[in-house]
Chains A and B, each alone.
Chain A
Amino acid sequence: MEDLLAYLHFVVLPQFIDALIIGVALALVALGLTMIFGLLDVINLAHGELYMLGGYAAFTLLGWGAGYWSALVLVPVLVGLVGWALEELGIRPLLPRADRAIVTLLFTFGVSLIFRDIAQVIWGTETRSVAAPLTGIANLAQVFVPIYRIFVFGAGVLAIAVTWWLVYRTQIGAVLRATAVDPSMVASFGIPIRLVYGFTFLYGCGLAGLAGVLLSPIYAVFPTMGHDFLVMAFAVVIVGGMGSIIGAVVAALLLAQVQGLASLWIPPVWAETLVYGVMLLVLVIRPAGLFNRLGEA
């Protein structure tokens, strides 16, 4: 019995805490993906590259002598603006097409290829590390967790809470939810749909940028980081339900635990495969995911 407790305390619990932090960061990326899909029917394959851009932007700003805290504020805004430009220049002209889900998916895939290559041209292929602004290790009941990771967890939870408040408790959120249900009805009330779509991209991509800055001191920055993370974020959005805010958060925490805890007993590479297995199972049983789409709840 004591052995079991010790095992849970010293083996399972640290893994659980680690997975919790990854889950929160994953939720930030997945939230942007799911909001963009919920409102515009667009699957943004460039989302992972925007996350990557967040990491590189932080690396560059810090290299120029900016402080980490100013980068934390500045980078999400910059990445958000890039996302907005994408929507304004590329997505909007494609929206009137009948096969918009397919053409926008292809468009954003093209963008992701370009971004990934441009990143390699500017920053090279090697891994770049970003120094954590907080050092030191906290002792949480004999489990040692770096303070920076605790900060990432707190910041992530705060961003998720702000997003929830924005979508479900403000006037802007009411407009967003209404647009997800019926854009033309919303437009007929005199609300500029154009701005609503632009804001969705700005905010969603900003979240991806935020995740990029937050995770850069933990995982370092490299050109394919976006692709690897996006596949995971996709699994999250599919399991949670495309276009569902709550689903994205719940599924992110859940899948991060599946991967984290499973890698205690099976090789980590197989744990990742297991996550896709779960995704596939959900797709087969409930193709629309576990939760309802934005505006349908």
Chain B
Amino acid sequence: MLQAQQQAQTTDIESRPAGTVAGRLLRAVRSGGSNSTLLRQIALVSLLLAAIFPLFGGSFFTRLAIEALLFGCIALSVDILLGYAGLLSLGQAAYFGLAAYVAALMYLHVTQSFWLVLLTASASVGVFSFLLGAVAIRAKGVYFALITFGVAEILSKITHNTRAIGGSDGLIGIPVPSIRLLPGLEIEFANNYVFYYLVLGTVCLLYLGTRRILNTAFGSVLRAIRDNSDRVPYLGYNPFWYKLLAYVMAAQIAAFGGLIYPLLRGFVAPHLFGFEVSTKAVVMSLVGGVGTLIGPLMGSVIITFLESVVGSYTERHLILLGIIFIVFVMFLPDGLCGLAQRTFGAGRKVKP
């Protein structure tokens, strides 16, 4: 009886021609439901901790936490690409740096309006990421990593060598504007707490938005591409456009971090484009757990604070970063979220 029922179910699934592809993909996602419950709990706990943090942190650590959230945006964008589309970008800092420079130049020479700057930075990153993505995504495997690495390196060199935009010194003395949210409601960036909650709120929205988008059929197709790029075209999807869309979306998220960064530190410099920032973002998502979205944000907080604390004792914090890198690559490839899932989730699979 039971057997017959099972058989009936199987044939039902296998014989349904219409919408089977999306259906199967969606079911595959839903079967990982308990996983996302745990991830959701992790996200909630981290949000709670983040929300009460300024009460204990003091202004130095509150500003450090803002920086962690901004770098977390690059880590999140790395995770979208690596965890969902299977693309390793070694140049994600390019968009952070690009947005930071566009924003800094706009504030210094053109306008004080935050919304106008947001629009310009977002548009320039959008155009740039579309063009670069269209080129880079055609290259397979490690070549994608190398192209993104090369372009970020070129951007870094160009800013380093162009005196008109500050050369190796970067741009300093960027004014801190206030944002007009509604007529009559202005937000001052000068207040650390206002600044912190504003960034925290926006990063939360980015996280939730990304999760929502990646839980749709779009995300499922991306994961299918990640797992077997050659078969997806047979199902009627063109991997190119899906990857490109993911790439442009990831660039926008990294750009948000870059957009805010000059307001936090008051300067921009060529190192923001650099290889160190790009790879640090990869470490962050690796530490938190690739493909979890919340992991990279946690990883960013952990790495940024570790670096700051260790950096106050010794200049040689790169050793620590390197050791963390190696330990996670070799022994904890699914990161802290994966560790939590294995500990609390009774041996479930890690990747969504």
Contact = CB atoms under 8 A, between A and B. Distances in A.
Interface string A261-272: 000000101101
B142 A93 contact: no
A107 interface: yes
A272 to B, nearest CB: 6
Given A41-B142, A107-B329, A279-B150, 6 more contacts: A105-B142, A106-B286, A110-B321, A114-B322, A234-B150, A276-B153
A242 B326 contact: no
Interface centre among A90, A113, A238 (most CB of B within 10 A): A113
B212 interface: no
Contacts of A277: 154
Contacts, number: 102
Interface stretch (A212-220, A246-254, A280-288): A280-288
Given A280-B147, A283-B139, A287-B138, A272 B319 contact: no
Contact of A287 (B143, B154, B158, B160): B143
Q: What secondary structure prevails in chain B residues at the interface with A?
A: helix
B319 A283 contact: no
A101 B90 CA distance: 13
A111 interface: yes
B57 to A, nearest CB: 28
A94 interface: yes
A114 B88 CA distance: 22
Contacts of A102: 82, 88, 142, 145
A68 to B, nearest CB: 30
Contact of B326 (A110, A270, A283): A110
Contact of B330 (A107, A113, A117): A107
B301 interface: no
3 cross-chain pairs, A with B, having the tightest CB-CB distances, nearest first: A110-B325, A113-B322, A114-B322
Contacts of A287: 138-140, 143
Interface in B242-297: 275, 279, 282, 286
Given A43-B142, A106-B282, A276 B157 contact: yes
Interface string B286-328: 1000000000000000000000000000011011011111100
Interface residues of A, number: 42
Contact of A117 (B157, B275, B279, B318): B318
Contacts of A280: 147, 150-151, 154
Contacts of B323: 110, 114
Interface of B: 82, 88, 135, 138-143, 145-147, 149-151, 153-154, 157-158, 160-161, 275, 279, 282, 286, 315-316, 318-319, 321-326, 329-330, 333
Contact of A90 (B88, B135, B324, B330): B330
Contacts of B322: 110-114, 117
Interface of A: 41, 43, 90, 93-94, 97, 101-103, 105-107, 109-114, 116-118, 120-121, 227, 231, 234-235, 238, 242, 267, 269-270, 272-273, 276-277, 279-280, 283-284, 287-288
Nearest to A104: B329
Contacts of B316: 117, 120-121
Q: What secondary structure prevails in chain A residues at the interface with B?
A: helix
A158 to B, nearest CB: 30
19 contacts: A93-B330, A101-B141, A105-B142, A107-B325, A109-B325, A111-B326, A113-B321, A113-B322, A114-B318, A114-B323, A235-B150, A242-B143, A269-B161, A273-B154, A273-B161, A276-B154, A283-B143, A284-B135, A288-B143
Given A242-B142, A270-B161, A118 B319 contact: yes
A105 B160 contact: no
Contacts of B147: 280, 283
B86 to A, nearest CB: 8
Contacts of A110: 321-326, 329
A21 B41 CA distance: 60
Interface centre among B142, B151, B321 (most CB of A within 10 A): B142
Contact of A94 (B141, B150, B275, B330): B330
A143 B162 CA distance: 34
Contacts of B282: 106
Contacts of A90: 326, 330
A100 to B, nearest CB: 10
Given A103-B333, A107-B326, A107-B330, A273 B318 contact: no
A242 B138 CA distance: 17
Contacts of B161: 267, 269-270, 273
Contacts of B140: 287
Contacts of A120: 315-316
Contacts of A273: 154, 157-158, 161
Nearest to A279: B150
Contacts of B275: 227
Nearest to B149: A234
A105 B144 CA distance: 13
A130 B319 CA distance: 26
A280 B324 CA distance: 32
Nearest to B327: A110
Given A110-B329, A238-B146, A269 B160 contact: yes
